[in-house]
């Protein structure tokens, strides 16, 4: 297996196994779900690590393909959208951290966290469309 094929496998494996943790976080962050914020923080960390792996493996794909992708608009847009979804997840993790530290009203902070995580879910869906359809050349 070439380095490119291996990296592509990792990229797609993390897309399938890791990205689901973002959707799970969004559903479980609803104030009414009753899930402990500490558990949500762990899920959020897993999602953050998976986002990081998507970015790194995506950049490695370009490297192993001798820079075949980095001038394409879909590739650049995917990088930006991945960073934006990482920022949304970071915002959610901070809100959950405030609940754990007892520094914020639980329902309001968890509502804010859930909203931010849904933004990340929407961005991931957009990224998958970019990866598969490759619009804007
Ligand atoms: C949430 C983030 C991401 C998800 C869920 C995702 C998912 C995917 C999927 C499912 C494919 C296979 C598409 C196909 O073969 O039709 C793919 C391909 C690819 N992705 Fe991503 N991706 C993400 C982020 C990124 C980022 C940030 C980059 C660049 C830095 C990137 C670069 C690539 C490249 C270059 C390919 C083409 C591989 C090939 O055709 O051999 N991806 N991605």
| 1, two tokens | 């297996």
State the closest ligand 1 atom to the C-alpha of 132, by its place in the atom list counted from 1: 16
Ramachandran assignment for 72, one of left (phi > 0), alpha (psi -120 to 50 degrees), beta (any other)? beta
What pLDDT does 55 receive?
96
The label of the residue with tokens 């520094």 reads 103
State the total domains in the chain.
1
State the closest ligand 1 atom to the C-alpha of 61, by its place in the atom list counted from 1: 35
Tallying the residues shown for the chain, one arrives at 137
Distance (Å) from CA 26 to ligand 1 centroid: 22
Q: Is the CB of 122 under 6 A from ligand 1?
A: no
Q: Which of 11, 12, 17 to mutate to test the pocket of ligand 1 (most atoms within 8 A of CB)?
A: 11
pLDDT digits (tens, 9 = 90+) for 85-97: 999 999 999 999 9
Q: Is the CB of 18 under 6 A from ligand 1?
A: no
pLDDT digits (tens, 9 = 90+) for 55-65: 999 999 999 99
- The domain in which residue 86 lies consists of 3-133
What pLDDT does 26 receive?
94
Q: What is the pTM of this model?
A: 0.93
């Amino acid at each position: 297996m070439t380095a490119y094929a291996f990296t592509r496998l990792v990229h797609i494996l993390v897309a399938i196994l890791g990205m689901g943790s973002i959707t799970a976080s969004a559903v479980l962050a609803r104030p009414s779900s009753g899930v402990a914020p500490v558990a949500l923080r762990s899920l959020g960390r897993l999602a953050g690590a998976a986002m990081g792996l998507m970015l790194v493996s995506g950049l490695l794909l370009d490297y192993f393909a001798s820079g075949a992708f980095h001038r394409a608009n879909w590739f650049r847009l995917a990088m930006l959208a991945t960073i934006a979804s990482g920022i949304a997840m970071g915002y959610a993790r901070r809100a959950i951290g405030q609940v754990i530290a007892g520094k914020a009203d639980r329902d309001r902070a968890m509502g804010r966290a859930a909203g931010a995580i849904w933004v990340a879910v929407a961005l991931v869906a957009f990224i998958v469309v970019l990866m598969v359809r490759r619009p804007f050349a």
